Amino acid sequence: MSSSTIGDRIRSLREFRDLTQEQLADRAGISIDTVRTLEQNRRQSARINTVRALARALDVQLERLVGQATVTQQLADDGGLLELRDAIQDIGALPGVPDLEDLEDPPSETAWVDSVRDATTTYWRGDYSRLSSTLPLLLRDGRAVARQTPTERVWRQLALAYQLAACLATQAGHPDWAFAAVEKQLNAAARASDPLMEGMGVSTLSWVLLRQGRWEQAQDVAERKADALEPSFRKSTPNQLAVYGNLLVAAATPAARRDDQDEAMQLLTAAEAAAVRSGPVRAYGTAFSVVDVRTQKVNIALAGSSGRPDDALRFSSDVRVEDITRPVHSASYRVDVAQARYQTGDSEGALETLLEVERDQPEWIKFQALAAATVREMLESERRRSTPLRSLAARLGVEPLV
Whole-prediction pTM: 0.80
**Confidence at residue 311, expressed as pLDDT on a 0 to 100 scale:** 94
**Out of 276-285, 331-340, 358-367, least confident range:** 358-367
Chain-wide mean pLDDT for the chain? 87
- Residue 269 predicted with pLDDT over 50: yes
Query: Within a domain: residue 255?
Result: yes
Query: Within a domain: residue 257?
Result: yes
Q: Tell which of 167, 193, 219 closes a domain.
A: 193
Residue 286 sits in the same domain as residue 312: yes
**Confidence at residue 75, expressed as pLDDT on a 0 to 100 scale:** 43
Q: 385 is in which domain, residue-wise?
A: 326-402
Q: Are 275 and 288 in contact (CB under 8 A)?
A: yes
Residue 104 sits in the same domain as residue 158: yes
**Confidence at residue 166, expressed as pLDDT on a 0 to 100 scale:** 95
Residue 214 sits in the same domain as residue 309: yes
Q: Tell which of 279, 306, 325 closes a domain.
A: 325
Residue 65: alpha-carbon gap to chain centroid: 16
**Confidence at residue 225, expressed as pLDDT on a 0 to 100 scale:** 97
Total number of domains constituting the chain: 4
Percent pLDDT > 70 in the chain is 90
Most confident of 87-101, 125-139, 338-352, 385-399: 338-352
CA atoms within 13 Å, Cβ hemisphere of 239: 10
Residue 165 sits in the same domain as residue 203: no
26, 113, 150, 184, 230 from 225: Cα distances, Å = 35, 27, 27, 18, 8
In tens, the pLDDT along 77-110 reads 555 677 888 889 888 777 777 765 555 578 899 9
Name the residue among 168, 146, 141 with its Cα closest to residue 156.
146
- Residue 401 predicted with pLDDT over 60: no
Residue 286 sits in the same domain as residue 231: yes
Mean pLDDT of 158-164: 97
Q: Are 195 and 229 in contact (CB under 8 A)?
A: yes
Residue 168: alpha-carbon gap to chain centroid: 9
**Confidence at residue 68, expressed as pLDDT on a 0 to 100 scale:** 56
- Residue 1 predicted with pLDDT over 60: no
Query: Within a domain: residue 120?
Result: yes
**Confidence at residue 2, expressed as pLDDT on a 0 to 100 scale:** 43
Q: Are 323 and 291 in contact (CB under 8 A)?
A: yes
Query: Within a domain: residue 349?
Result: yes
Residue 356 sits in the same domain as residue 394: yes
Mean pLDDT of 174-192: 94
Residue 172 sits in the same domain as residue 210: no
Query: Within a domain: residue 72?
Result: no
Q: Tell which of 14, 41, 67 closes a domain.
A: 67
Query: Within a domain: residue 73?
Result: no
Identify the CATH number of the domain in which residue 29 sits: 1.10.260.40
Name the residue among 134, 60, 120 with its Cα closest to residue 369.
60
**Confidence at residue 179, expressed as pLDDT on a 0 to 100 scale:** 95
As a whole number of angstroms, the distance between CA 176 and CA 83 comes to 15
**Out of 61-70, 102-111, 194-203, least confident range:** 61-70
Beta strands in 297-382 (DSSP E): none
**Out of 66-70, 131-135, 323-327, least confident range:** 66-70
Residue 235 sits in the same domain as residue 248: yes
In tens, the pLDDT along 358-399 reads 999 988 888 788 888 889 888 888 878 888 999 998 888 787
Residue 180 sits in the same domain as residue 200: no
As a whole number of angstroms, the distance between CA 284 and CA 189 comes to 11
Residue 119: alpha-carbon gap to chain centroid: 17
Query: Within a domain: residue 95?
Result: yes
- Residue 74 predicted with pLDDT over 60: no
Q: Are 196 and 284 in contact (CB under 8 A)?
A: yes
**Confidence at residue 324, expressed as pLDDT on a 0 to 100 scale:** 94
Q: Are 28 and 19 in contact (CB under 8 A)?
A: no
Query: Within a domain: residue 267?
Result: yes
Residue 95 sits in the same domain as residue 123: yes
Mean pLDDT of 280-308: 91
Residue 83 sits in the same domain as residue 30: no
Residue 364 sits in the same domain as residue 283: no
Residues 6+ apart with CB under 8 A from 357: 331, 334, 335, 338, 365, 371
